[in-house]
Amino acid sequence: MKLMVNHQTHYVYSAPVQNSIQYIKMIPSSNTHQRVHYWDISVPGEKEAKQDAFRNIWLTCSQREPYRQMSIMAQGVVEMNPHSPVGAADSINPNLFLQPTASTLCDDAMKQFALQHASAGSRSSLIRLAGAVLEHIPYAPQQTSVNTSAMQAFQCRQGVCQDHSHVFIAMCKSLGLPARYVSGYLFAPQSMHLASHAWAEVFLDNAWYCFDVSNQLFAPHSHIYVAVGRDYWDVAPVRGVREKGGFECMNSIVQVLSC
């Protein structure tokens, strides 16, 4: 299956930005799960591409001229492997994804929740855990932010794909299972969720298995991988620093279409 992605992010500032540096992770790579036929990213300024510690493509963009508006546009065509039950294979040490982060800490209530639903640590028990997490934290847009931690999302009992992934990852790590955060795109025409998506993966039987808690999907047949990390902050599509600019307003449009 070939998918075409169009991802536009537009920024408007209340005062001129004097200087800025943007760190962009919006470029997928070809791997055992997918083949990138074409990908282009348009952003003003000087650009330099590198790889981060998780082998994600990291584009640094620097702007020295004043501006009040900026657009980042990514588009391309990616072909999926429809027969693979697992995610993309890589050589990263899975134990790296046992490291705690501020966004994926697990309190006693969460540990008990994980033990109640997935004490066996098997894939089938983790699928049950994913269902229990979604039941405990129904999908509710605009109730949390990128700064919401797993413990906060578990306590407030509402959130989006980022929160589901953080909570699930935190619980898996409490069970001693390497778990990581994946950012990318989802082809789901009937879904109420945004095409720009996040899900979790757990390392079982020497492979990374998909756990899309928000959609209750457990094979990545409709998922385009862009970046992997320990949590959202390792894979954030756009992060940066700027001088002046006042208040920032951001709008994002994402389309994923079959082609």
Residue 190 phi/psi, 5-degree rounding, is -95, 5
Q: Clarify whether residues 106 and 230 are in a common domain.
A: yes
Query: Per-residue confidence at 186, pLDDT binned at 50, 70, 90?
Result: very high
Residue 202 lies in a domain: yes
pLDDT of residue 193: 54
3-state secondary structure of 60: strand
Residue 86 lies in a domain: no
Q: Clarify whether residues 41 and 122 are in a common domain.
A: no
Q: What CATH number did the domain enclosing 133 receive?
A: 3.10.620.30
Encoded tokens for 45: 């300024």
Give the total number of structural domains in the chain.
2
CA distance readout (Å), 64 to 44, 45, 58, 96: 10, 8, 20, 37
Residue 168 phi/psi, 5-degree rounding, is -65, -45
Containing domain of residue 117, as a range? 94-235
Higher per-residue pLDDT: 102 or 45: 102
Residue 251 lies in a domain: yes
Q: Are 259 and 6 within 8 A, CB to CB? A: no
Q: pLDDT for 114-156, tens place per residue?
A: 999 998 889 999 999 999 999 999 999 888 888 999 999 999 9
Query: Per-residue confidence at 194, pLDDT binned at 50, 70, 90?
Result: low
Q: What CATH number did the domain enclosing 74 receive?
A: 2.60.40.2250
Q: Are 165 and 130 within 8 A, CB to CB? A: no
**What percent of the chain clears pLDDT 70, i.e. is strictly above it?**
98
Q: pLDDT for 110-124, tens place per residue?
A: 999 999 999 888 999
Q: Clarify whether residues 185 and 75 are in a common domain.
A: no
Query: Per-residue confidence at 91, pLDDT binned at 50, 70, 90?
Result: confident
Q: Clarify whether residues 138 and 159 are in a common domain.
A: yes
Return contacts of 132-139, CB within 8 angstroms, 24+ apart: 133/164, 133/167, 133/168, 133/171, 133/213, 134/164, 134/213, 134/214, 134/216, 137/163, 137/164, 137/167, 139/164, 139/192, 139/193, 139/214
Secondary structure (DSSP) of 117-146: HHTT--HHHHHHHHHHHHHHS-B-TTS--T
| 78 pLDDT above the threshold of 80 | yes
Secondary structure (DSSP) of 88-115: ----S-GGGGGS--GGG---HHHHHHHH
Q: Clarify whether residues 156 and 223 are in a common domain.
A: yes
Q: Clarify whether residues 76 and 137 are in a common domain.
A: no
